[in-house]
Structure 1
Amino acid sequence: MRFPMPVFDANSQGNEGFGNLPEWDLSDLYPDPDSPELKRDLDWLAGECADFAKTYEGKLADLDAAALLQAVQRYEQIDVIAGRVMSFAGLRYYQITTDSDRAKFMADCQDKITAHTTPLVFYSLEFNRLEDDHLNRLLAENADLARYKPVFDRMRALKPYQLSDELEKFLHDQSTVGSAAWNRLFDETMAGLEFDVDDETLNLEATLNLLTEKDRAKREAATHALAAVFRDNIKIFARVHNTLAKEKEIEDRWRKMPSPQTGRHLSNHVEAEVVEALRNAVVAAYPRLSHRYYALKAKWLGLDRMQVWDRNAPLPMKDDTIVDWDQAQDIVMSAYADFDPKMADIARPFFTDGWIDAGVKPGKAPGAFAHPTVTPVHPYVMLNYMGKPRDVMTLAHELGHGVHQVLAAEQGELLSSTPLTLAETASVFGEMLTFRKLLDGAQTPQERKTLLAGKVEDMINTVVRQIAFYDFECKLHAARAEGELTPDDINALWMSVQAESLGPIFDFADGYETFWAYIPHFVHSPFYVYAYAFGDGLVNALYAVYQEGDPDFREKYFDMLRAGGSKHHKELLAPFGLDASDPTFWEKGLSMISGMIDELEAMED
């Protein structure tokens, strides 16, 4: 079932002075873990999955269009109920990952869902054995069935890589003790780590937050504390990565996947050559993006050389004002309303109806995410809000996801889910709207410079850093295919991409080679990270069209979000005159970043 993992975003610990931070009200999913509604749904799921298999296994090829539509709609409802259960269990767990009762509840729910849905494994396998002519004839006969064609196309894209029914059932059955178990070990290990910084014991989130402190000594101390704890636990993290990469290599080999990245490209409904064009464009742009910006930043900080703890240092001209929760809400909501009041209307219930969990709490998962749950309910947003301007941008980002998920829910469960490459569109666009509103309101050149530098830094983290992460993963999986990797092997792979992406101005402190260990995406979602760069480049191109004054842009934009996963990226971008498969497409987005750096350099003259 679809359940996104937390996205790393550096925040800190404690909630004092930020106003009344909201917490989730999960009762729209289920009243509580012991509720009769939850038991009813699990009982229904067990019976319905068994009956579905009894009714349809071995018989899909004999169904007419109306009967096949009924089968698809029954499968969709099973997806809704299973997704509802796991959304509730997962969201409760991420509120306090150190709570053993919540962890057990989520694991028990996952075990039950896996057991109940194992009889359904036949469905996609058998569906993919339908003859093309036969399926096309059924689609032509029934418009309601034809509406699901994008779902069928994605299923059938996996046809060359599917295994026997028996093996597929085995993989489904053992998943809870395979990657899911290693994911959980990673999460629980990370949540339990403690870091000693200047005689204070902090969790991971609070320690990472110190890397954005103005006091350079504090940033350095935090870096050394992180390095020390990662080094002490590096064998665990190396074991997690070795096992998951090997498990993936074995399954990919059995499926005859041509590369470790193929599965991600298929799930993202994007061509390998498009991702390669994106990757190559970004790597070629390193010198005029990150290398140039960090040289500027070193000058602002009065440094001849940058250390790794200076990468996220606040700028000397940065305003230290704390943005309380009400201010953050006003900033983001007004930016959304300026674009279109309809966008603000969609976003409002997140603030009023318990759809956001904002405060930092012991044991809470780090970072931020927006989880769509299931289409009959609504999304939930998780933040770790600490009142920094960056946290306001994170709110704008996750709220963009939420708006997208609300609109896409109109498609229904099977068609609403958006590929990762397009899932970042509304979030990054929401950030851009908020940034542009703040930039337009800048009162002084210094304020404008601060905003521009902050945005460039965020974009470098989204584009350059994520493509460097992608290169690290590619190297890691290629190396693991040749044999077991020691922690030093993985450290070396990590460092091989850091100097290239950050540039010659940086020195790398002893211990930084272990910093791959805390990135959750490598564990939860291999090769996920390029989606951030994809989304940023796509939004920059979209925003350029918006700035050019297309009178129909807003309606086209909402139509794109409503489409969810029902259209390919070519279809979605065509109304805007854009094409991601065009080699020059990515250059447009990268040029927006380099143009901002141009303006920052001009301010130095």
Structure 2
Amino acid sequence: MFHLPFPVRDANAGSGAKGLGDLPEWDLSDLYTSEDAPELKRDLDWLEQACASFATDYEGKLAALDAAGFLDCVMRNERISTIAGRIMSFAGLRYYQLTIDGDRAKFMSDMQEKITKFTTPLVFFTLELNRIEDAHLADLLAQNADLARYKPVFDRIRAMKPYQLSDEMEKFLHDLGVVGDAWEKLFDETIAGLEFEVDGEDLGIEGTLNLLTEQDRATRESAARELAEVFGKNVKTFARVHNTQAKEKEILDRWRGMPTAQTGRHLSNDVEPEVVEALRNAVVSAYPKLSHRYYALKAKWLGLDRMQVWDRNAPLPMETTKIVDWPSAEGIVMEAYGAFDPRMAEIAEPFFTKGWIDAGVKPGKAPGAFAHPTVTEVHPYVMLNYLGKPRDVMTLAHELGHGVHQVLAAGQGEMLSSTPLTLAETASVFGEMLTFRKMLEKATTQAERKVLLAGKVEDMINTVVRQIAFYDFECKLHAARRNGELTPEDINDLWMSVQAESLGPVFDFMDGYETFWAYIPHFIHSPFYVYAYAFGDGLVNALYAVFEENPDGFQEKYFDMLKAGGSKHHKELLAPFGLDATDPRFWDKGLSMISGMIDELEAMEG
């Protein structure tokens, strides 16, 4: 099934540009000029015909092809992926700009249904590929270097071989996919339509969550209580969506014979379960020296004996409420990128000048931030909800990192460009780290340095500790759902069981916080995605340590890693840096960078 990868939330008032400068909007015309553009109709017609002729030419015949014939077949399949991806990118990006617009929602659904219908006859390709004998496939690859380039794709497809169903069943499931997507849309539309009232002001979810980072404690409390109130009123809908999605996954996993609920994610990430388990265990055992220690320090700074959930992302007392306008944000990130390597700034520049970023907060716009790669023959698009907070500058650095990575990997072509999720966060987190180091370098006072360090530690805790707690929540949720329907209270209990453990003993949890699982989109769109953030952060911390220890030639190796896209396994990509994620000590290297920053903050207290 071809569908837009969900815009993952990384980190709604009116366009809210209070002194933020001119916020850029997307120009989607590089994809299509409009939903009735003749080029779009031409591509849909081409796609329908191309899928039908592909099935006629190759179904039942894959094993008999010679190397040249097999390469033609693969390249035709890749072309189909490109055109289908282009259409769905356009439909999806328009929808995320305004999710409450009925016409945009209908257009996206119509495109999804058409493309699913056209591509159902192609399901045979992966099934037949998996029936080819290992020796025969190896022989074909040995005969043709252009075909051998696709080996990593074949390896990933063939990893699914043990879990493959009959051809007829696979086609049925492919066709049925649009029904499962309806639950995701219900989630998106429910979230985008939520209305909150805080201190007499009407807000959407993004604007309300933003208040949790306000300096005024009473405002933070009002926002947290209003979030709890509104989530509570809608909790039955969210519980229904979670129950249905988890049950659908359980049925699919059972039919496929997947040993665990997480197996499918590990396979698509091209990562070994034991590597994820080592990461998870390293982080959980580090909770006391990371989050517990940091939040105890933060409570002291805030003058509190006990922390409440609305204090978790509070600014520090010595922090001035600073609004960073858009030109300044662009300048900070571009300077950091350029200082690392001028080529990096050069790749980032068109995002700002050619309508590749949609930055403003608007009613009905999807929450969060993402970089969508679209297709390799076009370019990525970045979405932000920019409110001018220093943290928003880091989000810009993060998403731009994704964008640079996607531009560099595009040279691999459609089937090899997309990076497994575990490595997809590398360039984004590295971009944040470069921006943070540049801002730290410019800090003129101890207080400014403290605020920056604390902010970075909080971001890392949100990326590592919080996401691993999310992962544990999902593991518990999917395990519990196997024993039957979960009430909202059941899900609430699972949520609270991971929150206290990860945040630490200094926290109290207000009534209503137990429903805060409801708004996290990853749980619905990409089950078990969340550990990729912790993987990416640990990886980047280890990479950055290598860069600091030995900067000579680092840039070349780094660019080569990004250009590789999905053409290499994480072991192969990290080898030039002397790193190995399968080594249990690898994760400690990354986590010790965070605890080192907390050491520095504690020393400032002296």
**Band the TM-score falls in, shorter-chain normalisation:** over 0.9
Question: 1:476-555 residue pairs with structure 2 within 5 A?
Answer: 476-555=477-556
Query: 1:411: which partner in 2?
Result: 412
Query: 1:84: which partner in 2?
Result: 86
What is the CA–CA distance in structure 2 between the aligned matches of 1:557 and 1:369, rounded to whole Å?
22
Structure 1, 365-374 or 214-223: larger mean CA deviation: 214-223
Paired amino acid for 2:163: Y
Query: 2:139: which partner in 1?
Result: 137
What is the CA–CA distance in structure 1 between the aligned matches of 2:320 and 2:95, rounded to whole Å?
36
Question: 1:232-251 residue pairs with structure 2 within 5 A?
Answer: 232-251=233-252
- Name the Cα RMSD after superposition: 0.8
Q: In the alignment, does 2:207 pair up with 1:223?
A: no
What is the CA–CA distance in structure 1 between the aligned matches of 2:460 and 2:398, rounded to whole Å?
13
How far is 1:10 from its partner? Answer: 6.2
Query: 1:267: which partner in 2?
Result: 268
Contact 1:11/1:209 (CA < 8 Å) preserved in 2?
A: no
What is the CA–CA distance in structure 2 between the aligned matches of 1:142 and 1:10, rounded to whole Å?
44
Q: How many residues align?
A: 604
SS of the equivalent of 2:94 reads helix
CA deviation string 1:472-500 (max 9, x = no partner): 00000000001110000000000000000
What is the CA–CA distance in structure 2 between the aligned matches of 1:242 and 1:183, rounded to whole Å?
12
Query: 1:284: which partner in 2?
Result: 285
How far is 1:3 from its partner? Answer: 2.6
Contact 1:336/1:430 (CA < 8 Å) preserved in 2?
A: yes
Query: 2:75: which partner in 1?
Result: 73
CA deviation string 1:334-356 (max 9, x = no partner): 00000000000000000000000
Question: 1:316-331 residue pairs with structure 2 within 5 A?
Answer: 316-331=317-332
Contact 1:396/1:427 (CA < 8 Å) preserved in 2?
A: yes
Contact 2:12/2:365 (CA < 8 Å) preserved in 1?
A: no
How far is 1:200 from its partner? Answer: 1.9
Query: 1:294: which partner in 2?
Result: 295
How far is 1:9 from its partner? Answer: 4.9
Query: 1:171: which partner in 2?
Result: 173
CA deviation string 1:260-313 (max 9, x = no partner): 000000000000000000000000000000000000000000000000000011
Q: Percent identity?
A: 79
How far is 1:444 from its partner? Answer: 1.0
What is the CA–CA distance in structure 1 between the aligned matches of 2:581 and 2:320, rounded to whole Å?
38
Equivalent of residue 41 in structure 1, options 17, 22, 43: 43
| Structure 1 residues without counterparts, runs of 5 or longer | none
Contact 1:8/1:366 (CA < 8 Å) preserved in 2?
A: yes
Instruction: Give TM-score scaled by structure 1 length.
Output: 0.99
Query: 1:211: which partner in 2?
Result: 212
Q: In the alignment, does 2:378 pair up with 1:377?
A: yes
Contact 2:12/2:205 (CA < 8 Å) preserved in 1?
A: no
SS of the equivalent of 1:196 reads strand
Paired amino acid for 1:276: E
Contact 2:7/2:372 (CA < 8 Å) preserved in 1?
A: no
What is the CA–CA distance in structure 2 between the aligned matches of 1:81 and 1:30, rounded to whole Å?
12
CA deviation string 1:164-194 (max 9, x = no partner): 000000000011112x010000000111110
SS of the equivalent of 2:406 reads helix
What is the CA–CA distance in structure 1 between the aligned matches of 2:6 and 2:564, rounded to whole Å?
23
SS of the equivalent of 2:276 reads helix
Contact 1:347/1:403 (CA < 8 Å) preserved in 2?
A: yes
How far is 1:17 from its partner? Answer: 0.8
Query: 2:340: which partner in 1?
Result: 339
Query: 2:359: which partner in 1?
Result: 358
Contact 1:220/1:309 (CA < 8 Å) preserved in 2?
A: yes
What is the CA–CA distance in structure 1 between the aligned matches of 2:590 and 2:418, rounded to whole Å?
25
How far is 1:202 from its partner? Answer: 1.0
What is the CA–CA distance in structure 2 between the aligned matches of 1:604 and 1:12, rounded to whole Å?
39
What is the CA–CA distance in structure 2 between the aligned matches of 1:228 and 1:386, rounded to whole Å?
24
How far is 1:416 from its partner? Answer: 0.1
Contact 1:11/1:367 (CA < 8 Å) preserved in 2?
A: no
What is the CA–CA distance in structure 2 between the aligned matches of 1:273 and 1:12, rounded to whole Å?
44
Query: 2:605: which partner in 1?
Result: 604
Query: 1:97: which partner in 2?
Result: 99
Instruction: Give TM-score scaled by structure 2 length.
Output: 0.99
Paired amino acid for 1:447: E
Query: 1:566: which partner in 2?
Result: 567
How far is 1:442 from its partner? Answer: 1.1
How far is 1:318 from its partner? Answer: 1.1
CA deviation string 1:119-169 (max 9, x = no partner): 000000011000001000000000000000000000000000010000000
Contact 1:4/1:369 (CA < 8 Å) preserved in 2?
A: no
Contact 2:13/2:363 (CA < 8 Å) preserved in 1?
A: no
How far is 1:236 from its partner? Answer: 0.4
CA deviation string 1:574-601 (max 9, x = no partner): 0000000000000000000000000000
SS of the equivalent of 1:516 reads helix
SS of the equivalent of 1:289 reads helix
Query: 2:152: which partner in 1?
Result: 150
SS of the equivalent of 2:385 reads coil
Paired amino acid for 1:382: M
Change in Cα spacing, 1:78 to 1:379, as seen in structure 2 (3 Å) is: same
Question: 1:397-436 residue pairs with structure 2 within 5 A?
Answer: 397-436=398-437
Query: 2:27: which partner in 1?
Result: 25
Contact 1:249/1:481 (CA < 8 Å) preserved in 2?
A: yes
Change in Cα spacing, 1:276 to 1:234, as seen in structure 2 (3 Å) is: same
SS of the equivalent of 1:381 reads strand
What is the CA–CA distance in structure 2 between the aligned matches of 1:4 and 1:277, rounded to whole Å?
27
